[in-house]
Structure 1
Amino acid sequence: MKKRTKKTTKNQNLKNPSYKFYYWLTGIILLLALVFFFRTTFTMYYFIIKGKFEEREYGYKNLEKLRPESEALKIHSIINRYRSHAIGIDISQHQGNIAWDSVKYIKNDIPISFVFVRATRGAYVQDAFFRKNWTNLKNKNLLRGAYHYYDVNRNSTDQAENFMKTVTLEKGDLPPVLDIEELPKNQSLELLKKGITNWLHLIEKQYQVKPIIYSNDAYFIHHIADMDLTEYPIWVANYNPRNSPKHSRWSFWQFSEKGIIKGITSNFVDINIFNGNTNQLEKLTIK
């Protein structure tokens, strides 16, 4: 009997119709898998790019659904009342990545004149987006300013040093800002006031300009009314439907925390009015 070799067996298997079927089936499956892989990859890529585009160009429209109609009417009323004044915004890492080329107007026809950017918080924290926002603003036709969120339970000198090592102010920038909003748990109100005064003095010495002080109307009236702040520009937050804040000597008024600005799609934006026009605001900048 003739011995059957492996080669002979293989050749016979190739001639077997059932084996041809399995080879073709395997090839078709591989081809379909490749088609599915490339189609899925292309689809994912398309929707990622499309989603980025829509988020940047139209994402702000989604915020309109979340904002109460009463707030939209209030913003409209106040902006119309102060149409001749300089109007601006303030931002932090909570606004995420910003498409600065689109940040130009409030309500499509009111130009944004200034932007305050959070730089630091407390004694050790730097805002995650400060460097990026600060650099981008330098190349835009917008006055920029940096602010520090004051931790009422931390050492004031450490907080001033945190701000000074983070922020370099240039000619044409707005004065530095102290944002004070909370009441202390680990110290008395009197010690807090001494800390605020110390921070202001250290910052003024560093930048050779009087800092701006930010807080809400109630804080100015009930907690630090006895502090001598007559030489400092005052930035007041009051979100009530009013014609002006209660503080009689305000330079800036933050009248809403639910502004919607094209180019900023991750969150609402605080909207502010300067108590004067753009030319008057420029006189406040660092010389």
Structure 2
Amino acid sequence: MRLPLAVLLSLSLLAGCGGGGGRSAPVAPVAPSAVVAPNFGDADPHPETAIARNRHPVHGIDVARFQKSVDWATARANGVNFAFIKATEGGDRVDEMFDSHWRGAGRAGVRRGAYHFFYHCRAPEEQAAWFFRNVPRRSGDLPPVIDMEWTPDSPTCTIRRPAAEIRADAEVLIRLFTRHYGTAPILYTTVDFYEDNQMWKLRGTDFWLRSVAAHPSDRYPGQHWAFWQYTSTGLIPGIAGEVDINVFAGNQGEWADWLARRAQP
């Protein structure tokens, strides 16, 4: 059956803008310094999604074991400029996809950084040592990330310690990570964890904030942020299934300046 031209055009646009994980034809490599505009979709966009897309030119993703299939070259060509990759959790777990994602992002020219998922039942010194053992120091990589949030679904550790103790652990981790990697870590957190533990009391910290239903200024009033995780239902060519998408706070020039100051020396 011969389809009308309008239908053919619509199908073509859907094929180009979706987030299917199928392998595509080889794409030309993109330099790590180049900022590529996003060619993304979203399975469940919220009103601020358009603001994130239009106001912030530097987009990236975060991935872990849940992203089993990533064609990094295709993702890079479609606007993935940076990636935060889960490396470790607690003091004895390494994400099973870390090595694959780490190597793939590097080969594709994606600016990459590793993150550690904080475990509330281990000492911060032990967790830092475990991360250092598994994540190499490499000049030009993004600062490491400490992911601090509540863990109500953990099979082994659901405790909620006092806010002052949690902030003290964060300060220990920030000090140890800074000393080891030569640049201060980024702190990722969620709305409830941020509020419950008064995380704004941590000074001199670059925050990466999760806010998938509103702008960070609504959920974290007055808080400076470097990265905003604005959706967990993103669709990106080259990545099978849905993925978290993030934006950097500034424009392309500010991104270059931030990298010059904050990337690993």
Q: Structure 2-normalised TM-score?
A: 0.74
Matched, 1:285 2:257: no
Which residue, 58, 63, 70 being the options, matches 1:91? Answer: 63
**Inter-partner Cα distance in structure 1 for 2:245 and 2:48:** 12
Contact 1:210/1:231 (8 A) holds in 2 = no
Unaligned runs of at least 5 residues, structure 2: 1-19, 25-40, 152-157
Contact 1:148 1:163 in 2 (8 A): yes
Whichever residue aligns with residue 43 of structure 2, its letter is R
Q: Secondary structure at the match of 1:165?
A: helix
- Provide structure 1 residue ranges, at least 5 long, that are not aligned to the other structure: 1-53, 59-63
> Partner of 2:66: helix, strand, or coil?
helix
Tell me how far apart the structure 1 counterparts of residues 67 and 50 of structure 2 sit (CA, whole Å).
22
Query: What is the root-mean-square deviation in Å for CA atoms of aligned residues?
Result: 2.4
Measured in 2, the distance between the counterparts of 1:204 and 1:243 equals 26
Look up the match of 2:97.
129
Deviates more, 1:111-120 or 1:189-198: 189-198
Q: Percent of counterpart pairs with the same letter?
A: 26
**Quick one: distance in 1 between partners of 2:98 and 2:226?**
24
Question: What residue in structure 2 maps to residue 264 of structure 1?
Answer: 239
What is the CA-CA distance between 1:218 and the residue it aligns to?
3.4
Higher relative contact order (CA 8 A, sep 6+): 2
- Aligned partners of 1:57 and 1:262 also within 8 Å: no
Matches within 5 A, 1:57-136: 57=23, 67-68=43-44, 71=45, 74-82=48-56, 85-104=57-76, 111-136=79-104
The whole-number CA distance in structure 1 between the counterparts of 2:179 and 2:216 is 36
Separation (CA, whole Å) in 1 of partners of 2:95 and 2:132: 14
Q: Deviations over 1:181-206 (max 9, x none)?
A: 11661743332222222122111111
1:252 — aligned with what? 227
Quick check: 131-140 or 88-97, which moved more? 131-140
Contact map agreement 2:216 2:228 (CA 8 A) in 1 = no
**Structure 2: distance between partners of 1:243 and 1:250:** 8
Structure 2 residue aligned with 1:11: none
Q: How does 1:88-237 map to 2 (within 5 A)?
A: 88-104=60-76, 111-182=79-150, 185=159, 187-225=161-199, 227=201, 229-237=202-210
Greater per-residue helix proportion: 1
Q: In the alignment, is the contact (CA less than 8 A) between 2:76 and 2:109 conserved in 1?
A: no
Instruction: Report the CA distance between 1:78 and its aligned residue.
Output: 2.6
Give the SS at the match of 1:135: helix
1:49 is aligned to none
User: Number of aligned pairs?
Assistant: 218
Confirm whether residue 56 of structure 1 aligns to residue 32 of structure 2: no
CA distance in 2, matches of 1:244, 1:187: 27
Contact 1:153 1:186 in 2 (8 A): no
